[in-house]
Amino acid sequence: MRALPATAGRGAVACAAAPVPRRSLLLSTAAAGVALNAEQLPLRLTGGAAAKIRASADAAQAVTFTSTDDALAWTNKDNRRLLHVVYRVGDLDKTIKFYTECLGMKVLRKRDIPEEKYTNAFLGYGPEDSHFAIELTYSYGVDKYDIGAGFGHFGIGVNDVAKTVELVRAKGGKVTREPGPVKGGKTVIAFVEDPDGYKFEILERPGTPEPLCQVMLRVGDLDRAISFYEKACGMELLRKRDNPEYKYTVAMMGYGPEEKNAVLELTYNYGVSEYAKGNAYAQIAIGTDDVYKTAEVVKLFGGQVVREPGPLPGISTKITAILDPDGWKSVFVDNIDFAKELE
């Protein structure tokens, strides 16, 4: 995708995309773009057995809503929350050290998949069954990725922005914006970068129950993006703020109040309709009670399903993967299956 010039707004710099290394299908939602069919199952099946499984899968996917209103009603009742955000790093140990020592995160779990040559680490501020988390992916031998111009930053709420910034600086971290009020507002913020160049906005939010509070992505048509996330993904528009002085508009989307839940921050820079996405940022994972109904709703409202709903090969976790109008990926994960992964 071609990136248009973006000199105004919130730091949009065009970068060329690079090939993404192969991902394993095992548990990680970073592999969610691969389709499943009966022939891909780990067991060798006869034609009849394969046909029965295929028919069963087809029946499971044969979800039909009587109207768009019916689909919206189901989406609004579905139990959804942001589970984790997935992205790639070049040195897992260095990144973990920065997140734990400078940003106060904890390592929640870690797994190495040598046959697929990658390692995952999950970090955050509380248990994954109730808190938003980060899923880091390290692919053997790959030490650098292109973050691109479309990804913005992650947000972390802290008690004291100035103290957090001084800790980052003392540990050798990079501070790209000193503490001070946000442009056009009063909230005290700062920006720092991790070892791979991912930006973190540090926000002063004393006592917040969800410190890992934002994922910011840039979009080319804000009204279109808001409509998609409301209708296809069941999110709520929590607030919207236009900043004509700085030529950008932001919209906060999520599944609950911003002060208690992680949110998706969509940013529109005046006059910029496309961004290069690079190959570093991957996707957000979202919990749902039914991936089959979720996929149908997405299709009803013009979304692209890039991984049809169903279980991942070799395990029972059911997922579906979609793209929004700007090409950002989300992976919906069955709530019960996700809970079993954490046991």
Instruction: Name the catalytic one among 128, 201, 204, 210.
Output: 201
**Contact residues for 48 (Cβ-Cβ < 8 A; gap 6+):** none
Residue 135 known to bind ligand: yes
**Alpha-helical segments (H) within the chain:** 47-61, 68-77, 92-101, 161-170, 222-231, 291-300, 335-341
Cα atoms in the 13 Å half-sphere on the side-chain side of 113 = 16
Asked if 115 is an active-site residue, the reply is no
The three-point CA angle 285-129-197 to 5° equals 50
Q: What are 142's two structure tokens? A: 């790959």
Place of tokens 């099946």: 45
Cα separation, 266 vs 229, in Å, equals: 10
Cα separation, 80 vs 291, in Å, equals: 11
Q: What are 244's two structure tokens? A: 């004509």
Displacement of CA 57 from its chain's centroid (Å):
27
Instruction: Classify 248 in phi/psi space as left (phi over 0), alpha (psi -120 to 50) or beta.
Output: beta
Residue 84 known to bind ligand: no
Cα separation, 27 vs 34, in Å, equals: 13
Name residue 149's amino acid.
Answer: A
Cα separation, 274 vs 1, in Å, equals: 7
E strand residue ranges, the chain: 82-88, 106-113, 118-124, 133-139, 151-158, 174-181, 188-193, 199-204, 212-218, 236-243, 248-254, 263-269, 281-288, 304-311, 318-323, 329-334
Place of tokens 């954490």: 342
Residue 131 known to bind ligand: no
- Using CB atoms within 10 Å of the CB of residue 329, give its burial: 0 to 12 exposed, 13 to 18 middle, 19+ buried: buried
- Specify binding-site residues: 135, 153, 201
- What are the binding residues for Zn(2+)? 135, 153, 201
Active site residues: 201
